[in-house]
Structures are given as C-alpha cells and as structure tokens.
Amino acid sequence: MIEPLLTDLERGADGVYGVAPENSTQQQEVAFRESVTDLPMDFDYLTEIGRNHSIAVMDREVRRFTALLPQNARIVDVGGCWGWHWRNLSESRPDIKVFIVDFVRNNLLRAKIILGSKINNSIFLVHGDALLLEFPDSVFDGYWTVQTIQHIPDFNGVMNEARRVLKVGGHFANYSLNVQPLIRAISKFASKPYVVEGKFGEHLFLRRAQPQHSELISNCFNAVVRRRFSEFIFQPNLRTTFTGLEQSKLGKLDSLLSCSSPLLGSLARQQSFHCVAGPRITKTD
C-alpha cells in the first residue's frame, strides 16, 4: 500500500519518488553536488559523515527532536542528503515516518545504502526542492533541516514553504553553521576566507545563522523561537574532526554541551532555531 502523501508523485525504478526540481537559481550547485556524490556503493559513509558533522551530537539532537512529536508523527527532512540522522529511528520511535527531500538524486541513492530496509517502509525518499515541496498543506508534525537552508538564497521563500506543510502545533528545527568570532579571527590571520553571507567557493552560497533570523522565523510561524548551540568540540578548522565519529567519547561529551546560552554560543560551530508553529494569521484588507 502506497504512503498517502506520495500518491501523486512518480516513483522511479530506483525507489525514489519525484522528479528533478526546476530550480533555475541553483542548477550550478546541483551539478556540483551530483559530481561529488558519485561514490562507490561500498564506501565508508559514516566515516565520511564524521568529517563534516559530529554524529554523536546530531544523534542526540534527533532524539531530543523526536521526543517532542506525537504518536505516528510524520517528519519532513529537507535537504536530508544521505539520511543518516534516521538510521536508528526504528529503535527509539518506530511509529514515526520520515520523508527525506533532496534536490540531488545521488544523495538519495546513498541514503538507500545507509537506511536499507527502512526505505519505503518508515522512510521515504523524495527528489524535490525546499522551495516547492510536493506535499499538501499542513501534513507534517515535524520539519527538520540540517545545514541546508544556509545554502538557499531565498530564505523567506523556504520559510513560507516550511510553514505551509507544517501543522499548527508542529515542531520546526533548522541547524546552520554559526558565526564564530574566534574561528573568524584565525581565518583572517591565516588569510583564509570566512563567509558570513554570500558566495562560498565557486559553486555554493552560504548564510550562517545569525540572531536576526529568529525574528524572521518567529514572524513566519507566529511563534516564539528558541536558539540552541551545538558542536563545541567538533571543529574542522581546528582539526578536531576525529571527534565526529559515531563512537567517539569526545563526541558524546560534545553532545552533552549543546545548550541555549548565547554567551557560550559564540564558541559553537552550529546554531539552530526551534519553534512550535502557531495559528496561521489571516491577512485582511
């Protein structure tokens, strides 16, 4: 029996739903990301992930997020890439279904390797666009995205689309790279670029999380926004990527350091925004 939210989407022979999104503003980025994900099927994916994210930190963040959701909740993971956040979901919340959306089909094919039999049972892969999600209004209990919105120039557009598909009372979580004054100073001293907002390299746009984003998200969701800070020990610029591995003891310690303190937050690599979607405001003339 097909999952009801996917009945209008084409399913490819590879098990992925949807077709290539027509986002003309990010075609160069899509082509670039497709090229760097052309990896062998027996690739050590978790080790590679641990060089770019702290697995232990994000595993704890996932547990924290899913604990907020009701029974039989549906989550949309926007820009979910290889889907590794959900590899242990069946152990903690087997009732939850996750819909991973990514505009790079190769990413979703790698997610199939990591997630195995969960695909098209509790986890579904959708080739799509954060700015034009192919789902009805108000169908998700959770909207989760990690270091994806930071690469989308149209921040308001992606927020409005998130608001559209999230139920009133649904939980929103957006993780982005943080502005770190210490790392910024080290980069400047070493004559290396440190982008807060703008072109990052040849193919990417980057917008780091900043306090003013709280107001934009609050206005969109008619909600109080909480900021959290994570990845204190995991600092690729300082060559501490070994702490990102799944079983790293320092990584597990790092997961306990995640907090909401702006004072400590300046040291964190990652900042996230969280809210519960409030009632929709109807505009009148």
Per-residue pLDDT reduced to its tens digit, 105-150: 999 999 999 999 999 999 999 999 999 999 999 999 999 999 999 9
Q: What is the pLDDT of residues 11-49, one digit of tens each?
A: 999 999 998 777 656 666 666 666 666 677 678 889 999
Whole-angstrom Cα distance, residue 150 to residue 196?
10
With 0.85 as the threshold, say if the pTM is over it.
Answer: yes
d(CA 16, CA 169): 29
**For 98-205, where are the alpha helices, taking DSSP H only?**
105-115, 155-165, 181-189
What pLDDT shows up at residue 1? 59
- Structure confidence at residue 38 (pLDDT): 66
- Predicted local distance difference test score (pLDDT) of residue 108: 95
Number of neighbouring beta carbons within 10 Å of residue 214:
16
pLDDT of residue 43: 81
Which pLDDT value is given to residue 284? 54
- The Cα–Cα gap between 93 and 123 comes to 12
DSSP letter at 211 equals T
Measured distance CA(140)–CA(74) in Å, rounded: 5
Averaged pLDDT, groups of 10, the chain, 285 residues long: 87 92 66 65 86 97 98 98 96 96 93 94 96 96 97 96 98 98 92 92 88 96 98 94 96 97 95 96 63
- What domains can be seen in the chain, in order of their start residue? 4-276 (3.40.50.150)
